[in-house]
Structure 1
Amino acid sequence: MDPLLLGALVALSTIFVLFSGVSVAVGLLIVSAGFLMIFDGMRSLELMPEILFGKLDNFALLSIPMFIIMGSSIASTRAGADLYEALERWLTRVPGGLVISNLGACALFAAMSGSSPATCAAIGKMGIPEMRKRGYPDGVAAGSIAAGGTLGILIPPSVTMIVYGIATETSIGRLFLAGVIPGLLLVVLFMAWSLYSTWKSGDASLLTAGSYTWREKLEILPRVLPFLGIILGVLYAMYGGIATPSETAAVGALLCLIIAMVIYKLWAPSALWNVLRDSTKESVMILFIIAAAGVFSYMLSSLFITQAIAEWIGTLDVNRWVLMGTVNVFLLIAGFFLPPVAVILMAAPILLPIITTAGFDPIWFAVVLTINMEIGLISPPVGLNLYVINGIAPDISLKTILMGSLPFVACMVVAIVLLCLFPGLATWLPDAVMGPTF
């Protein structure tokens, strides 16, 4: 059978299996085993266990459970509420300070936890009721938190960036640095839209709030500065050549647990057990998907599907930006239905040779891909962050939350366009810190 036709058959079969309700990892294994058995013979199945476990034989993978423990220990405390309160007290006299506080808290908490749902839950529980109490539109209140939560997969340390780095054999340190400026760009765009939307509502009183004494501003800082110090320390150790990502993640996880125990009195064995249990579940899920995606990639390569697609793309006489636009549409659609980790592991090995052949930087592409995945987190039908916000504020309809998040989707599209026009937004910092690649 023609490899391109076979590739289309694999794509349709994968979509059908994943929509049947099985987990992503199991679905990928079912599709891989079925096509290998039919088109490559039963003997090819003997290699599946070796490939499955061999994909996990990577020291860099140790950073994933460590960063997840780091985020889980933060999410299990009042760190999110304290971070929100600290920013509110310091920014209260700034025009639009409350919405800026919420988005700033989302960005910082997302960087600490690396989890979009955890960010929405932690900041939303405090921020949404407060914004609604002061008269902010429900759409702005809910949409800003839903969008702010997506920053967790872009601002370092990011688990999805680690997964992309492993899947494409790209420097994880460079990927982390590449997400910094685009992440800050998104924060600025989100803040700009929120302020404009609030101003457009016609109530100028929403743009200012009360005041706090210097004592009230300073007394909250000891609760949040240690966590921020850990994030900065982890990044410094990584980029200063002191330790590898896996080593710094392990130290960061230990320090976050210690601070959670000392500052937030997380001494109860049941609370610590919940942190480790939830972290283990999430880590196993991600690692299982990584292993299954390795088998899936082997199947595509063994049946010459990957090579045929890359060769076919290379023969197309189309502008490379038309090609990139097509790739973005594909990523958007995939992100509507699948979690970011699954999309990255399934698509990156196929798309990487295509985008590099077209002359695009794989580091830059990682940022574009991640922003596409962020859009999927606040877009139906899956839109995980939308349902988290609806659970926090059930009296705000899902339609209102969705309509409130759509302008932030537009902000993300603007960010992708700016990255296309100015690729240095993603590549300048990695080159400046770690030196240019040749």
Structure 2
Amino acid sequence: MSDPVTGLILLVVLIAFLASGLWIALALAGVAAVALVFFSNAPVGLVMATTFWGHSHSWSLTALPLFILMGEILLRSRLSKDMFNGLAPWLGGVPGRLLHVNVLGCAIFAAVSGSSAATAATIGKMSIPELKSRGYPESLILGTLAGSATLGLLIPPSIILIVYGVATEQSIARLFVAIIIPGAMIVALFGAYVMIRAWMDPDLIPSSDVKYSLKEKLWEARGLIPVGLLITGVIGAIYSGLASPTDAAALGVVLSIVLALLSGSFGMREFFDAMMSTARTSCMIAFILLGAAFLAVAMGFTGLPRNLAAWIGQMELSPYLLLLVLTAFFIVLGLFLDGISVVVLTTSIIMPMVMQVGIDPIWFGIYLVLVVEMSQITPPVGFNLFVIQGLTGLDILRIARAAMPFFFLLLFAVLLITLFPQIVTYLPTAMNG
């Protein structure tokens, strides 16, 4: 059976599982089992057991529940409300107003966590209830959160850039420098989209008749100090080399507890509620991760990603045509796999053809991360969609529709760095010079 037909069959099976109401993690694991039974000779039980065991204890993933707990503590104390109150006077005159908190908050937190899921969970815990209570439209709340949380993959410390650098033997430091301008560009694109939507439909955004003087703005901004100290402490610990992201996440939990207690709005009951909610969210994400890991391993056994990549290589395409085909290829793979799995399973086959047509491997790494970001907000395996679904209980297709404009903005960003590669290559070249 040809690889495209195999891929189509597995996609239909996955959609059928999800449509039946099966848990997402079980649907992913079920497709993996089908792939192993019908399209490989690997023993299903042994592969599943070793995959689940191997992926169930990872020190780097310990940061995820810690960052979620940090968000839960901020949510249950007065700190998150103070943050919004502190930002409101400054964003009152900006079209889109507090929706920019999702974009800027995700960008800042991405620099702390390096994880798209942690960014979506933490910022979402704070912003969704607050923005809903202020009357902002649900589609823009969910869309800005889902789209902006993809910055967790992009802005250093980016886990996926580290994986790419190791897999392709490229300088991780140069990759981190190369992503600075594209990352800022995407934040600007998201912010511009929110402003354009607000300009096109002024009734969409709740109005604010309150006018603040500079003195009043500065006084209200005091609510930003605790969260600013928290972010500075966590980011400073990582970039000063004093702590790993996991250690910094633990530091963030301690700092958030101290700041919440000092705010006078946090006690044992709120702490217990935060712990329980963190356990539920973390277990949901961990369960999905295990299902995704099993599917990734199963896809490796079927040889589907490798064979599709080799098939593309036989076409002998020009650089632009190759990038066009690879973009479609990675988006389709993103329907099945998480971003890191896409990188791990395909780089060994893709890189020779990329180098052959003269594409800069540093540039290609940034391009690849941008395309993989897009897969985070596309069903059926859009991981950010799953996280937001877990936070809100809404239908995943409803969340995906809200996130679709940000998918096209990321696609536009891919087009920009393709037409103007200097957006990516300028800083690494200057660093070497």
Say whether the fold is shared (TM-score over 0.5).
yes
Q: Which residue among 98, 103, 122 is the counterpart of 1:107?
A: 103
In the TM superposition, 1:42-121 aligns within 5 A as 43=43, 45-92=45-92, 97-99=93-95, 101-110=97-106, 111-112=108-109, 114-115=119-120, 117-118=124-125, 120-121=127-128
- Displacement, 1:323? 4.1
Q: 1:262 to 1:146 in 2, by over 3 A?
A: same
Aligned to 1:368: 371
Q: What runs of 5+ residues in structure 1 fail to find an aligned partner?
A: 130-140, 392-397
In the TM superposition, 1:275-286 aligns within 5 A as 275-286=274-285
Aligned to 1:416: 414
Q: Aligned partners of 1:386 and 1:302: how far apart in 2?
A: 30
Q: Aligned partners of 2:41 and 2:406: how far apart in 1?
A: 49
Q: 1:323 to 1:272 in 2, by over 3 A?
A: farther
**1:19 counterpart = 2:19:** yes
Query: TM-score scaled to structure 2, two decimals?
Result: 0.72
Q: How many residues align?
A: 401
Report the more deviating stretch, 248-257 or 292-301.
292-301
Q: 1:8 to 1:81 in 2, by over 3 A?
A: same
Report the more deviating stretch, 45-54 or 191-200.
191-200
- Displacement, 1:28? 2.6
AA matched with 1:318: L
Aligned to 2:248: 248
Q: 1:91 to 1:373 in 2, by over 3 A?
A: same
Report the more deviating stretch, 278-287 or 120-129.
120-129
Partner-residue secondary structure (3-state), 1:220 = helix
Alignment RMSD, CA only?
Answer: 4.6
Query: TM-score scaled to structure 1, two decimals?
Result: 0.71
Q: 1:174 to 1:16 in 2, by over 3 A?
A: farther
Q: 1:76 to 1:157 in 2, by over 3 A?
A: farther
Q: Aligned partners of 2:272 and 2:405: how far apart in 1?
A: 40
Deviation per CA, 1:17-57, whole angstroms, max 9, x where unpaired? 34332223222322333443455557553243122211234
Aligned to 1:258: 258
Tell me if the contact between 2:155 and 2:183 (Cα under 8 Å) persists in the aligned partners. no
Q: Aligned partners of 2:378 and 2:126: how far apart in 1?
A: 16
Aligned to 2:30: 30
- Displacement, 1:114? 1.6
Q: 1:334 to 1:178 in 2, by over 3 A?
A: same
Q: Aligned partners of 2:392 and 2:39: how far apart in 1?
A: 46
- Displacement, 1:421? 3.0
Q: Aligned partners of 2:172 and 2:291: how far apart in 1?
A: 21
Q: Aligned partners of 2:388 and 2:100: how far apart in 1?
A: 17
Q: Aligned partners of 2:2 and 2:387: how far apart in 1?
A: 38
Q: What runs of 5+ residues in structure 2 fail to find an aligned partner?
A: 110-117
Q: Aligned partners of 1:297 and 1:375: how far apart in 2?
A: 17
Deviation per CA, 1:346-403, whole angstroms, max 9, x where unpaired? 64444544553434523442133214535779x9xx7997999999xxxxxx9xx97x
Tell me if the contact between 1:157 and 1:176 (Cα under 8 Å) persists in the aligned partners. no
- Displacement, 1:185? 2.7
